[in-house]
Chains A and B, each alone.
Chain A
Amino acid sequence: MDRSSARDLLIRYRSGDCTESERQLVESWILHGAAGPPDLSDVELLDDLLDIRLRLESSMRKQDLKATVFRRWLPYAAMLIFVVSAAIWTYSRMNSGKQGLRRETADVLPGGNTATLTLPDGSIVKLSDTQGGIVMGDEVKYTDGTTVPGTNGQSPGHGAGAATQNASAVSQRLTLAIPKGSTYRVTLPDGTRVWLNTASTLTYPSRFSDSERIVELAGEAYFEVSEIRAPVQRASGNSGPSRKVPFIVRTRSQSVEVLGTQFNIAAYADETAAKTTLVEGSVRVGAAQNTASAVLKPGQQSVVSGKQISVAEVDVAAYTSWKEGYFTFNGTELREAMRQLSRWYDVDVIYEGNIPPTPFYGKISRSNSLAGVLDILKEGNVHFRIENNGTAYRVIVMP
């Protein structure tokens, strides 16, 4: 057989126009003509398998989206009609200034970056949603270097050196409050960087003292604590040894003392336990209700529940990925996952019927709409419905 008839045979095989023995010959060649292990390295093989997987996941999402687009939009269309007619009804009755509908869109969209800063004099400054964070220095500035309007004269220390002891400055406290659906960053006067998660507040002094740095947290935050050294107070001489100034985070149920490290604290009032996850360095976690304490190593997480402290190794990324804009579920129980969604999308969650504990695994971008996230979670065999009672949204969880 020559090349052109070999090619001809392959083409005839493809069109089904060949004899039984020709068919067997071609199939036999495909099966047995290239035996043996692949000449790919482990990395190449793995790389290719992961590539196929990622491509498939991406195509399937697009496919699912197309398939469900009608089913998905139908209830929203109905909801939209309801909202529009309710809006017209409300508009036709209301006097100007009376409260209208809180939202007019059907799906619940994720929030962005907003926050308020309460200054020592009690005035409240609304921070720009086009900025992601503020820096506490001689002035309060946004991360792009522009001064935050309305904070003049409230700045931490006018030209004061860090070492200057000033009791009154220490007592001046500021509160950064993050509403539901937002995150915000702050760089504290000592250079410590804090990422605040949704529905959280951080209270801190306008200037830290040399003996300790104390902040108060409600909610969740990721800390990158800068190491600060201060000279040890001695009767004689001023070139003595220095010591690290501890950084202490207090929450309702615990206090975390650190000396320069990275860690995440989740201490929401609606969670039964406060979780501290250590990324780098070393921290000591003490329960507020007794003297129990534990020292964490990187990769460990402490769980403070009442007087109990337990420590376990965890997947750190799962507890810090909110900072990069993800919900990460790693065996996360349904109700805890729903509390996270509730805080981000500002919705109430109602459980209907008997829903068994369901762990979820996966990573979902927080830029998804609520319906988008629920659509993914329903793969775990739980069902959801978004309802609007005219003023607020709520999610009904069904078995």
Chain B
Amino acid sequence: MAEYSTYTDEVLVPLLQKGDKEAYAEIYNRYNGLLYIFAYNRLKDREEAKDIVHELFLRLWADHSRLAITGRLSVYLYTAVRNRIINLIAHQQVASRYIDSFLSYIGQADHQSADYLARYNDLQTFIQREISNLQPRTREIFELSRQSSLTRREIAEKLGISEETVKSHMHTALKLLKARLGNLFFMVF
């Protein structure tokens, strides 16, 4: 069984396009946490942010054979989330919640040239920085969330009760995870 976790994005994309569910699962595991935080930080609404990430990944699988991913996978995914965020923000009913934030940003950006903005908007650099800025703690949460054999209550309880328990749990979870990657990803209840 192939170790999908060791594959680069460049290897995973063509596999996904061919309908490889494990490649899909690995892409999901790699990016769902990052994209969720990205969406949440901008929307400050947990439900909306969850919806965006859920719909994005649903579409990614439903359209896997038609995906036109020309550049980097990470840029593709962030762009998709960004577009969904803007769609939501530009929506008539919700726009007013974000206008103030936008106006204050425009105030700061007024002095900056379009040239600067173009460079500043390089998504690839932005994503690199986002990933490297990730707190070790947040990374641990990402890894823990991969472990679907633990119930939500179990983990939450453990997170709430004692840090030591969580740590050892994470340790076991990660060990198990390494052994498990590649086989049944989907749990059925």
Which A residues are within 8 Å of any B CB, using their own CB?
1, 3, 6-7, 10-11, 13-14, 20-21, 24-38, 40, 42-53, 55-57, 59-61, 63, 315, 329-331, 358-365, 368, 376-377, 379-381
Mind listing 20 A-B residue pairs with CB under 8 Å? A10-B90, A13-B86, A26-B86, A31-B120, A34-B42, A38-B37, A40-B40, A45-B141, A47-B156, A50-B145, A50-B152, A53-B145, A59-B58, A329-B184, A362-B183, A362-B186, A362-B187, A363-B187, A368-B188, A379-B21
Q: How far is A24 from B159 in the complex, measured between Cα atoms in Å?
A: 41
| Contact assessment for A61 and B106 in the assembled complex, using a CB-CB cutoff below 8 Å | no
| Contact assessment for B159 and A29 in the assembled complex, using a CB-CB cutoff below 8 Å | no
Contacts of A330 in B (CB 8 A): 149
For A34, A44, A52, which residue has the most chain B Cβ atoms within 10 angstroms? A52
Q: Which of B90, B98, B120 contacts A32 (CB 8 A)?
A: B120
| Contact assessment for A25 and B109 in the assembled complex, using a CB-CB cutoff below 8 Å | yes
| Contact assessment for B90 and A56 in the assembled complex, using a CB-CB cutoff below 8 Å | no
For B61, B114, B142, which residue has the most chain A Cβ atoms within 10 angstroms? B114
Q: How far is A200 from B85 in the complex, measured between Cα atoms in Å?
A: 57
Q: How far is A364 from B186 in the complex, measured between Cα atoms in Å?
A: 10
Which B residues are within 8 Å of any A CB, using their own CB?
1, 21, 28, 32-33, 36-37, 40-42, 46, 49-50, 53-54, 57-58, 61-62, 82, 85-87, 89-90, 92, 95-96, 98-99, 101-103, 105-106, 109, 114, 117-118, 120-121, 123, 126, 133, 135, 137-138, 141-142, 144-145, 148-149, 152, 155-156, 159-160, 179-180, 183-189
Contacts of A1 in B (CB 8 A): 103, 106
| Contact assessment for A52 and B32 in the assembled complex, using a CB-CB cutoff below 8 Å | yes
Q: How far is A51 from B41 in the complex, measured between Cα atoms in Å?
A: 18
Please report whether the interface of chain A is mostly helix, strand, loop or mixed according to DSSP.
helix
Q: Which of A24, A44, A57 contacts B187 (CB 8 A)?
A: A57
Q: How far is A49 from B46 in the complex, measured between Cα atoms in Å?
A: 10
Q: How far is A44 from B138 in the complex, measured between Cα atoms in Å?
A: 11
Q: Which of B41, B90, B185 contacts A34 (CB 8 A)?
A: B41
Contacts of B184 in A (CB 8 A): 329, 360-362, 376-377, 379-380
Contacts of B62 in A (CB 8 A): 63
| Contact assessment for B109 and A47 in the assembled complex, using a CB-CB cutoff below 8 Å | no
Given contacts A33-B105, A379-B185, A380-B183, contact A46 B144 (CB under 8 A): yes
| Contact assessment for B89 and A10 in the assembled complex, using a CB-CB cutoff below 8 Å | yes
Q: Which of B33, B85, B109 contacts A30 (CB 8 A)?
A: B85
| Contact assessment for B41 and A48 in the assembled complex, using a CB-CB cutoff below 8 Å | no
Q: How close is A365's CB to chain B, nearest CB, in angstroms?
A: 6
Known: A49-B33, A361-B180, A363-B189. 4 other contacts (CB 8 A): A21-B114, A29-B106, A61-B186, A362-B187
Given contacts A6-B103, A48-B46, A380-B183, contact A31 B121 (CB under 8 A): yes
Q: Which of B1, B99, B114, B187 contacts A3 (CB 8 A)?
A: B99
| Contact assessment for A44 and B46 in the assembled complex, using a CB-CB cutoff below 8 Å | yes
| Contact assessment for B109 and A60 in the assembled complex, using a CB-CB cutoff below 8 Å | no
Closest to A55 in B: B54
Q: How close is B6's CB to chain A, nearest CB, in angstroms?
A: 18
Contacts of A363 in B (CB 8 A): 149, 187-189
Q: How far is A59 from B57 in the complex, measured between Cα atoms in Å?
A: 10
| Contact assessment for A24 and B54 in the assembled complex, using a CB-CB cutoff below 8 Å | no
Q: How far is A24 from B120 in the complex, measured between Cα atoms in Å?
A: 9
Q: How far is A33 from B85 in the complex, measured between Cα atoms in Å?
A: 13
Given contacts A3-B103, A376-B184, contact A48 B36 (CB under 8 A): yes
Q: How far is A59 from B86 in the complex, measured between Cα atoms in Å?
A: 24
Contacts of A24 in B (CB 8 A): 114, 117-118, 121
Given contacts A21-B114, A53-B32, contact A361 B183 (CB under 8 A): yes
User: Which 5 pairs across A and B sit closest by C-beta, in order of nearness?
Assistant: A49-B145, A362-B184, A21-B114, A10-B90, A24-B117
Q: How close is A49's CB to chain B, nearest CB, in angstroms?
A: 4
Contacts of A29 in B (CB 8 A): 101-102, 105-106, 109
Q: How close is B47's CB to chain A, nearest CB, in angstroms?
A: 9
| Contact assessment for A46 and B82 in the assembled complex, using a CB-CB cutoff below 8 Å | no
Contacts of A46 in B (CB 8 A): 141, 144-145, 152, 155-156, 159
Contacts of A359 in B (CB 8 A): 183
Contacts of A368 in B (CB 8 A): 188
Contacts of B142 in A (CB 8 A): 49
| Contact assessment for B188 and A28 in the assembled complex, using a CB-CB cutoff below 8 Å | no
Contacts of B159 in A (CB 8 A): 42-43, 46
Q: How far is A46 from B160 in the complex, measured between Cα atoms in Å?
A: 12
Q: How close is B155's CB to chain A, nearest CB, in angstroms?
A: 6
| Contact assessment for A63 and B82 in the assembled complex, using a CB-CB cutoff below 8 Å | no
Q: How far is A238 from B40 in the complex, measured between Cα atoms in Å?
A: 73
Contacts of B54 in A (CB 8 A): 52, 55-56, 59
Q: How close is B18's CB to chain A, nearest CB, in angstroms?
A: 14
